[in-house]
Structure 1
Amino acid sequence: MDRIPEYVDGLPNLSGQEDLITRSLAEARSRPVFDDQLDLGRIEAAFTIALHMHQPLRPADGALAEAPIIGNLAWMMDHQDVGDNHNAPAFAWCYRRMGELVRQLLEEGHRPRVMLDYSGTLLHGLRQMGLDEVFDELRYLATDPRARQAVEWLGSTWGHAVAPSTPVQDYRLHVRAWQHHFAGLFGLEALSRVRGFSPAEMALPNHPDVAYAFVRTLLDCGYEWVLVQEHTVEELDGSGLADPHLPHRLVCTNSDGETAAITAIIKTQGSDTKLVGQMQPYYEAKSSQPRDLAGHRVPPLSAQIADGENGGVMMNEFPSKYLEVMREYSGTSVAAVNGTEYLEALRRLGVGPADLPPLQPLHQHRVWRHLEPGQGPERLAAVIDKLRAEDDRFHMDGGSWTGDVSWVRGYDNVLVPMERASALFNSHMLTTKTPTDDPRYRRALFYLLASETSCYRYWGQGEWTDFGAEIARRAATAAQA
């Protein structure tokens, strides 16, 4: 059986088939994702782009405690006279247009490449709106034998939760929930080809225990690599990356001395939709030369990710520029690739994960100068307090695409209700080992994951934090039902 239900009891299928998904992923791991094998010896450089698509859920109009939960795009569609909501129809087109663009390029005989990252809340909101034409295009990209060579789907957290400030047990629930939802939409075979992970907001935890749990979760859920922001990581001696255009090995050790490592592809520079909208990685790659890696000469990889719909450059300029570049690079010494495609080509060359240079989350070198792995969480907490007292720039809030949002500080009015909901879900559902296909579990999980969406913090104080607190309230109520 390749398909599992997309919806159960009126809610997206977020749990209940964990064993089936784990078995399906394990059985597929020995098979390559890409049949059109990339020959790294024939190119000088490679480039890749990823499009991140997301809309949060929110209460509809009316009394906050009673309003149904809808997707933000639906609210924008109904209120196009407010702010920038006139962009809602363009956003809806952006969510399906890659199917049209990829189909056109394949029919022309070209070799398009793109990676896609869709949050679960967006997918649920689109389905609620009845936008079946969007799913028709996405299903083509996920299942058509030719299109799936051009398109790589990246895993994500179902509720667009940021790792540094999401309870670690909940983060794992988000990762598993997205896999359920994706398999319900496109099938287990399509899910088995999802090998890379795109963290919401490019947020990487740097607290040693949280970072370890983050990597452990990805590995346990079958992921082989993760996309990370250049300025959120460091060499093991604390210096910046010597060459961010090569894949690395993200190594995370916790205070108990346990270590987990996963391959990392580096997104360079800050976050700017123009970098993808104007296909900057292609032009960067054109001026790049092969590098030495584990005794081999390999083409460097220029990688970028950006919102796929947000901003004028992505809504209006990206489609024509994408078509132009995908047509232009063909037959040159530069190749468009997807992340797993590039890593599979490295393995065929003899370069595996263990051969990649190690890195770690930002600021950890300062921790490990004062802490021996295995000394435990109490000693770690004391070291962190000492370092904070010595330098007010030191923090364990993690890093993301932006250096001026911590995702932790200043959000008590939404984090406190979220943490209460998480604690109640843990005590009433996880600790009691409530079956994950129990309707009570599914309902509480839906609200919990929806409440942990980053937007309730990123968009600042006011109605969005109220929305987050209200959805967390519903999660707490459902957990105790």
Structure 2
Amino acid sequence: MTQLDEYVDGLPNLCGSEQQVQAIVEQSRNTAVHNGHTGLDLGAIDAACAIALHMHQPLIPAGENLHTAEIISNLQWMLQHPDVGDNHNAATFLWCYKRMGEFIPTLLAEGHRPRVMLEYSGTLLHGLRRLGANDVLDALRRITCEPETRAAVEWLGCGWGHPVAPSTPVQDFRLHVRAWQHHFAALFGAEALARVRGFSPAEMALPNHPDVAYEFVRTLVDCGYTWVLVQEHTVESPEGRPLEQRHLPHRLVCRSSRGETAEIIAVIKTQGSDTKLVAQMQPYYEARGLQPVELAGHRVPPLVTQIADGENGGVMMNEFPPKFYDVVRESSGTRTPLVNVTEYLEQLFATGLRPGDLPELQPVQQHRIWERMAPGDGPDRLAATIDTLRGSDDRFHVDGGSWTGDISWVRGYDNVLAPMERASSLFHERVLARSVPTDDPGYRAALFHLLAAETSCYRYWGEGIWTDYGAELSRRAIETAERL
């Protein structure tokens, strides 16, 4: 594959090379990432732990007049205004985005076995380049691409604009997933993209509406992903029970009202105070108390998995570095090592265990739906069933689940969702329905603004300047689509 340009027409390369990107993921489907060359032997360990660092900064129209303001990274705005709010943390945030480029080589040089999974939103990667943080991207490229370090670092895919899957139109969510793959390949190369097998949903938000959940999983599978990270309380057994073996991988099986089925391996992120748990390397200490379990006749070491913001909060900024060093040094060569998930899964299936042997799960609340109808009964029956359940129980919803149980990402967000939905509808009408070529400059401009507008931050706060940012980016997405 020809190396993709990082920028095209002044915008990050988010589209236009779909066939090349798909060829990369198709060729990698049946190819192991590690081929057993990481030194991990599941038969010689009792348990393992995996940590992932989530990194994100939204794009904002930064200026007094939002209609004319330049779109820049929120991080850049923080650096330019250090005396406002918590903006004094901006320089530390910048270091956090870079520091794995220092930690990993140092620990490897000491003879240890560091492991970390990284998830950076597309808006952050673009923002880092635009503010001139080339040293950060260079450090990430080295640990991603150099043979000596790349086994220690696993990248997780995500949506380019950090969209919340349950309330993002399914066709837009697919655009986010594809755009991130484009951008990542342009930054780090085709070989690096071929090694990205896991997916990290923004806000750990998993759709539980059956048709949306089905499209979510189908998108991931179509885009070459083999596993997804899910929050413990967002899933249930087919019988509607909580998980019994949360430290084992599962199969996330999603069925639609039309009778379609899509499934993918799910790795469970357990509940807890995310940033504190990762910063203090709690998964390692939890794993030390576990022993192998039997699954389908195989001895399987449990895997304790956590993800947290990699830059946000005092414990992550200050306590994580020394704790990460301590745990890597202590765990290397022991019966409780740090691993990356794809490394663990490849070893697991090399023992003869098959994906079909993994226990099944589904998005939470779906058991109550399938008690009253069957997959294949159709969208009308599904809508009626959901209305009946809502009418009998005000706690029932199909707004999805996330890292927090009290935010639906739908209810109460009309002031920002309405313009987003208008932008999405117009993009479909003016761009997708008319089959505008994806390498058309107008397509790229409209896509960039749409994906930037669908960032979760504009919903999380619910009101104030952040919803104004979201509405303005939606307005620009509408404006660029109308030009087509």
Q: Do both share a fold (TM > 0.5)?
A: yes
Question: Which amino acid in 2 is paired with 1:198?
Answer: S
Alignment pair present for 1:329 and 2:341: no
Q: What is the alpha-carbon distance in structure 1 between the residues aligned to residue 273 and residue 252 of structure 2?
A: 21
Instruction: Give the RMSD, CA atoms, in angstroms.
Output: 0.8
Question: Which amino acid in 1 is paired with 2:247?
Answer: H
Moved more, 223-232 or 22-31: 22-31
- Report matched runs for 1:415-430 at 5 Å: 415-430=417-432
What SS does structure 1 have at the residue aligned with 2:54? strand
Question: Which amino acid in 2 is paired with 1:448?
Answer: L
Alignment pair present for 1:370 and 2:372: yes
Partner of 1:115: 117
What SS does structure 2 have at the residue aligned with 1:336? coil
Q: Find 2:172's aligned residue among 153, 170, 191.
A: 170
Question: Which amino acid in 2 is paired with 1:29?
Answer: R
**TM-score of the superposition, structure 1-length normalised?**
0.99
Partner of 1:346: 348
- Report matched runs for 1:461-480 at 5 Å: 461-480=463-482
Partner of 1:261: 263
Moved more, 379-388 or 60-69: 60-69
Q: What is the alpha-carbon distance in structure 2 between the residues aligned to residue 113 and residue 2 of structure 1?
A: 30
What SS does structure 1 have at the residue aligned with 2:99? helix
Does structure 1 conserve the Cα–Cα contact (< 8 Å) formed by 2:55 and 2:119? yes
Question: Which amino acid in 2 is paired with 1:28?
Answer: S
Deviation, structure 1 residue 2: 4.9
Deviations 1:71-124 (A, max 9, x none): 000010011101110000000000000010001001111110000000000011
Does structure 2 conserve the Cα–Cα contact (< 8 Å) formed by 1:398 and 1:406? yes
Q: What is the alpha-carbon distance in structure 2 between the residues aligned to residue 301 and residue 416 of structure 1?
A: 41
Deviations 1:29-76 (A, max 9, x none): 222112315210000001000000000010111211010100000010
Deviation, structure 1 residue 387: 0.2
Q: What is the alpha-carbon distance in structure 2 between the residues aligned to residue 284 and residue 388 of structure 1?
A: 38
Deviations 1:296-354 (A, max 9, x none): 01100000000000000010010110000000012221111101001000110111211
Does structure 2 conserve the Cα–Cα contact (< 8 Å) formed by 1:37 and 1:345? no
Question: Which amino acid in 2 is paired with 1:4?
Answer: L
Does structure 1 conserve the Cα–Cα contact (< 8 Å) formed by 2:49 and 2:287? yes
Q: What is the alpha-carbon distance in structure 2 between the residues aligned to residue 141 and residue 171 of structure 1?
A: 29
Partner of 1:20: 20
Does structure 1 conserve the Cα–Cα contact (< 8 Å) formed by 2:275 and 2:309? yes
- Report matched runs for 1:418-457 at 5 Å: 418-457=420-459
Deviation, structure 1 residue 459: 2.0
Q: Find 2:108's aligned residue among 86, 106, 109.
A: 106
Partner of 1:240: 242
What SS does structure 2 have at the residue aligned with 1:204? coil
Deviation, structure 1 residue 454: 0.2
What SS does structure 1 have at the residue aligned with 2:158? coil
Partner of 2:74: 72
Q: What is the alpha-carbon distance in structure 2 between the residues aligned to residue 112 and residue 21 of structure 1?
A: 30
Q: What is the alpha-carbon distance in structure 1 between the residues aligned to residue 204 and residue 272 of structure 2?
A: 11
Q: What is the alpha-carbon distance in structure 1 between the residues aligned to residue 40 and residue 356 of structure 2?
A: 21
What SS does structure 2 have at the residue aligned with 1:360? strand
Deviations 1:383-414 (A, max 9, x none): 00000000000000000000111100001111
Q: What is the alpha-carbon distance in structure 1 between the residues aligned to residue 10 and residue 277 of structure 2?
A: 39
Q: What is the alpha-carbon distance in structure 2 between the residues aligned to residue 151 and residue 356 of structure 1?
A: 26
Moved over 3 A (4+): none
Alignment gaps of 5+ in structure 2: none
Partner of 1:29: 29
Question: Which amino acid in 2 is paired with 1:358?
Answer: E
Deviation, structure 1 residue 146: 1.9
Deviation, structure 1 residue 142: 1.2
Q: What is the alpha-carbon distance in structure 2 between the residues aligned to residue 2 and residue 112 of structure 1?
A: 32
What SS does structure 2 have at the residue aligned with 1:64? coil
Deviation, structure 1 residue 294: 1.5
Partner of 1:186: 188
Q: What is the alpha-carbon distance in structure 1 between the residues aligned to residue 298 and residue 308 of structure 2?
A: 31
Task: Tell me the number of residue pairs that the alignment of Structure 1 and Structure 2 aligns.
Answer: 481
Q: What is the alpha-carbon distance in structure 2 between the residues aligned to residue 74 and residue 271 of structure 1?
A: 28
Deviations 1:108-156 (A, max 9, x none): 1111000000000001111110000001111012101121100000000
Does structure 1 conserve the Cα–Cα contact (< 8 Å) formed by 2:259 and 2:375? yes
Partner of 1:3: 3
Q: What is the alpha-carbon distance in structure 2 between the residues aligned to residue 268 and residue 27 of structure 1?
A: 33
Q: What is the alpha-carbon distance in structure 2 between the residues aligned to residue 429 and residue 259 of structure 1?
A: 29
Deviation, structure 1 residue 270: 3.0
Partner of 2:408: 406
Q: What is the alpha-carbon distance in structure 2 between the residues aligned to residue 319 and residue 144 of structure 1?
A: 22
Does structure 2 conserve the Cα–Cα contact (< 8 Å) formed by 1:197 and 1:227? yes
Does structure 2 conserve the Cα–Cα contact (< 8 Å) formed by 1:51 and 1:116? yes
Does structure 2 conserve the Cα–Cα contact (< 8 Å) formed by 1:3 and 1:186? no
Deviations 1:221-262 (A, max 9, x none): 000000000000000000000010000000000000000000
Question: Which amino acid in 1 is paired with 2:336?
Answer: V
Q: What is the alpha-carbon distance in structure 1 between the residues aligned to residue 307 and residue 3 of structure 2?
A: 30
- Report matched runs for 1:208-227 at 5 Å: 208-227=210-229
Question: Which amino acid in 2 is paired with 1:387?
Answer: L
